[in-house]
A and B are shown apart, each in its own frame.
Chain A
């Protein structure tokens, strides 16, 4: 026993000593970027400037992007871009580690929720000058702004839409939802239509005499209730999650709460929607593709990521603009391409990004319907629009042009909160947890939000 104890003491002592050394090593690491810095300029005098670009994706996706970068490398003789692909699951963790070590790439992709946080910690370069003197700029709603400066542009555009199953509408002899913004449905029209499309096993519709909400076989609609998408309805009702500059929390206002309750009531009161408690991010698969729901809201990317395959298997779907409460609103979003502040070559990094962000270089993602272009010429110039949309991967041209292309450049399109607000990940996680019992009707939106308003404000302030 005695030797055991001594051994134990020895181990702890050794462990303490090692951890002290570990700390010293950490201290040493911070010095390494400086030594890198002294090496780099020396290289660039004789050779091309080397730019390291990081992206999320598999090794195969990395080599596809490298092939694109090689075209860029061959097109001029000053900049050499190397692509580093990091798996999506580890992407932000890996970048965090590299940031700590002072070894970030020069430029790279960044998840939506991280941009303003990284900028507020001084990790990003201002990219306002990137499109100076260009004939086509990204849509205004696609710039990430922190304290008035543009710190990133979205790599792609996405907006929220209303998808619908054409066969279900035809069968019920109900007109399709409108693709044109000026004909957008009010919320009440939307709910009325959803009732006509909700059928129980005896063929009764929601609201009819004898309708049994426990044996519904087809639901009229499903409004996605992931936290960030819910902001659409709060904004549409004249409220919002945050003030326009992102500094104040507005979710406690009646207009915001009422909008969230309306979404919950689709299941609870109107009996036109299946229960969804925001646990998984597969709304379109669960609804339109599963063939159980006639209309569902979600992002444009679903056309490329899942609806195309379903279409080949016989699904007839259409796209429409979202219904509205008071104002017509859709959110747009897109992961960012940033220039890290640790780079010694911001100009060259921006030049590469600008070249790479031109749609021709992301054509596979755009033509398959996963990404929408960011530059405004694709929305404003019909020849470009036709080049983009007249493609069997998309719904009919007129329908998509109206419900997506025109919608995306209209006043209704507003940037998602992470374009201008910090700590949206914290806030959205907490909001999702706060609303858990609202979807099942155990609490009202008013009770849940009022009770947790201080915590929501603290999450928004980053002081959780």
Chain B
């Protein structure tokens, strides 16, 4: 009896002191979060209800900014559509591409670590250099791709100067940049238990069946993680618009984050830009919630359902 009594007591003391240390260790993180994330977030909400331009003291104007955004703003509709279009293309493209490359790199091929580095390199290159480099490939009159096209007698394609091609062209760059997803997929693939494959092989399953019924289910948690990260990153896209297209041609690359940047730091409509920011936030939140809500249906949990 005594031992039974003692044990939980010691345990709780142990836990509470551990908890104390944990809270102390968490303080810096909390302070950072509160002052650098949550308070500014509330600030954005507050400023979005004003007409602040940075010059004069802000005046409270209620929801006018939001009303304007949804009624008279010449950009926001195109901007939402083009952002989602870009994000969907890039996410699907980079998920398929990076899973495929990761599976290739997971095989016993010669110079495997060399190729792993090769596919990761784009991710660590400086962004602006990448986009300027791609702009030379894509250039509409004398660019490299158009040189190839004209050599084989095809008409030129204005990859980034034509509103129908520009988003797919930029998505392709984003897919090519997905080296970080490859690394995470690789780590996941190495955790797929080999015994399953061996067992299936013995039962006569072919490569596709093994991929479909073993690799893919085991990888679903990793796929979910990559999907979420890649979706959030691509919905916040801004660099290609800043580096290559200035939002054009037309509004075809006026991504939401670029629009917000333009409102805040080119036209100094800071209140208005804050309202746009919250719309971006709402869209991100909506996509994330949908992804989480549907995740239970397709994520395979090895340990069974522990919720």
Expressed in whole angstroms, the Cα–Cα distance for A92 and B54 within the complex equals: 10
Of the candidate stretches A162-170, A184-192, A314-322, A424-432, the one touching chain B is A424-432
Of the candidate stretches A79-87, A276-284, A401-409, the one touching chain B is A276-284
Would A214 and B156 be within 8 Å (CB), given that A15-B34, A96-B55, A433-B250 are in contact?
Answer: yes
Expressed in whole angstroms, the Cα–Cα distance for A387 and B134 within the complex equals: 45
Expressed in whole angstroms, the Cα–Cα distance for A439 and B268 within the complex equals: 29
Q: Which residue of B lies closest to A27 (CB)?
A: B57
Within 8 A of B (CB), among A341-392: none
Q: Which residue of B lies closest to A293 (CB)?
A: B141
- Structural contact, B43 and A433, CB atoms closer than 8 A: no
- Structural contact, B262 and A18, CB atoms closer than 8 A: no
- Select A279's contact among B35, B46, B75, B246, beta carbons within 8 Å: B246
Shortest CB distance B198–A (Å): 43
Of the candidate stretches A128-136, A412-420, A452-460, the one touching chain B is A452-460
- Structural contact, A275 and B141, CB atoms closer than 8 A: yes
Chain B residues with a Cβ closer than 8 Å to the other chain, count: 45
Verify if B62 is at the interface (C-beta below 8 Å from A): no
A interface, size bucket:
35 or more
Q: What is the 8 Å Cβ interface bit string for chain A, positions 1-36, against chain B (1 contact, 0 not)?
A: 000000000010011101100110000001000000
- Select A442's contact among B38, B150, B163, B254, beta carbons within 8 Å: B163
- Select B248's contact among A23, A436, A458, beta carbons within 8 Å: A436
Within 8 A of B (CB), among A89-139: 92-93, 96-97, 99-100, 118, 121, 123
Verify if B74 is at the interface (C-beta below 8 Å from A): yes
- Structural contact, A100 and B246, CB atoms closer than 8 A: no
- Structural contact, A123 and B55, CB atoms closer than 8 A: yes
Verify if A197 is at the interface (C-beta below 8 Å from B): no
Expressed in whole angstroms, the Cα–Cα distance for A277 and B42 within the complex equals: 39
Q: Which residue of A lies closest to B262 (CB)?
A: A429
Question: Interface SS of chain B: helix, strand, loop or mixed?
Answer: loop
Verify if B214 is at the interface (C-beta below 8 Å from A): no
- Structural contact, A437 and B250, CB atoms closer than 8 A: yes
- Structural contact, B158 and A437, CB atoms closer than 8 A: no
Q: What is the 8 Å Cβ interface bit string for chain B, positions 137-174, against chain A (1 contact, 0 not)?
A: 00011100000001000011010111100000000000
Point out the residues of chain B lying under 8 angstroms from A92, CB to CB: 265, 268
- Structural contact, A436 and B250, CB atoms closer than 8 A: yes
- Select A118's contact among B55, B72, B156, beta carbons within 8 Å: B55
Question: Interface SS of chain A: helix, strand, loop or mixed?
Answer: helix
Point out the residues of chain B lying under 8 angstroms from A11, CB to CB: 30, 34, 38
Point out the residues of chain B lying under 8 angstroms from A429, CB to CB: 262, 266-267
- Select A433's contact among B42, B53, B254, beta carbons within 8 Å: B254
Expressed in whole angstroms, the Cα–Cα distance for A278 and B248 within the complex equals: 8
Shortest CB distance B157–A (Å): 11
Shortest CB distance A67–B (Å): 31
Considering residues B54, B72, B161, B250, which has the most beta carbons from chain A within 10 angstroms of its beta carbon? B250
Considering residues A121, A290, A436, which has the most beta carbons from chain B within 10 angstroms of its beta carbon? A436
Q: What is the 8 Å Cβ interface bit string for chain B, positions 52-94, against chain A (1 contact, 0 not)?
A: 0111110000000000100011110000000000000000000
Point out the residues of chain A lying under 8 angstroms from B140, CB to CB: 274-275
Expressed in whole angstroms, the Cα–Cα distance for A118 and B56 within the complex equals: 10
- Select B267's contact among A99, A275, A279, A425, beta carbons within 8 Å: A425
- Structural contact, A19 and B39, CB atoms closer than 8 A: yes
Shortest CB distance B270–A (Å): 8
Expressed in whole angstroms, the Cα–Cα distance for A15 and B43 within the complex equals: 10
Shortest CB distance A31–B (Å): 12
Point out the residues of chain A lying under 8 angstroms from B249, CB to CB: 277-279, 436-437, 439-440
Would A15 and B268 be within 8 Å (CB), given that A279-B248, A433-B247, A434-B250 are in contact?
Answer: no
Point out the residues of chain B lying under 8 angstroms from A439, CB to CB: 161, 249
Point out the residues of chain B lying under 8 angstroms from A464, CB to CB: 68, 72-74, 269
- Structural contact, A426 and B161, CB atoms closer than 8 A: no
Verify if B251 is at the interface (C-beta below 8 Å from A): yes
Expressed in whole angstroms, the Cα–Cα distance for A436 and B142 within the complex equals: 20
Within 8 A of A (CB), among B197-247: 244-247
Would A458 and B250 be within 8 Å (CB), given that A96-B54, A279-B161, A440-B163 are in contact?
Answer: no
- Structural contact, A275 and B161, CB atoms closer than 8 A: yes
Q: List 28 A-B contacts (CB under 8 A).
A: A11-B34, A16-B42, A18-B39, A19-B43, A92-B268, A93-B265, A96-B54, A96-B268, A97-B54, A100-B57, A121-B56, A214-B150, A216-B141, A274-B141, A275-B161, A277-B249, A278-B248, A292-B141, A425-B267, A429-B262, A436-B163, A437-B250, A439-B161, A439-B249, A440-B158, A440-B249, A464-B68, A464-B74
Q: Which 4 A-B pairs have the closest CB atoms?
A: A436-B250, A436-B249, A96-B54, A274-B141
